[in-house]
Amino acid sequence: MAKIYQNKSVSRKLYFVPLQTVRTRGIEASKVSGYEIALTDNGRWKCTKAEYYKISLSDAERFPVVGEAKIDIKEYVKGAILEALERKSWNESN
């Protein structure tokens, strides 16, 4: 189950879906990698890879939890990518 965080530090709608903990070196704080989903200026949603410090995500005022995915989010992302690739190859062949 994955939590969905909203980043309240920015003026536009920005969400973060964590997938896994990232290895850090030395005394660097622990990080979490995942995907940032942002509403762009032209009204479209954009999804990019991102990393946040775990300590930042624990700040409930800046990063409140706005939802929880009760599915295996990794499999969902994998399925969405495969579907997009399949659609692209189908469009190119026609």
> Residue 12 pLDDT > 80, yes or no?
yes
Residue 1's pLDDT is what? 65
Average of pLDDT values for 51-80?
Answer: 83
> Residue 94 pLDDT > 60, yes or no?
no
What is the spatial distance between Cα 22 and Cα 53, in angstroms, rounded to a whole number? 9
Per-residue pLDDT tens for 24-49? 788 888 888 888 888 888 888 888 89
What is the spatial distance between Cα 64 and Cα 58, in angstroms, rounded to a whole number? 8
Mean pLDDT of the chain: 83
> Residue 22 pLDDT > 70, yes or no?
yes
Q: Would you tell me how many other CB atoms lie within 10 Å of the CB of residue 6?
A: 17
Residue 62's pLDDT is what? 92
Per-residue pLDDT band for 8 (boundaries 50, 70, 90) equals very high
Q: How far is CA 94 from the centre of its chain?
A: 33
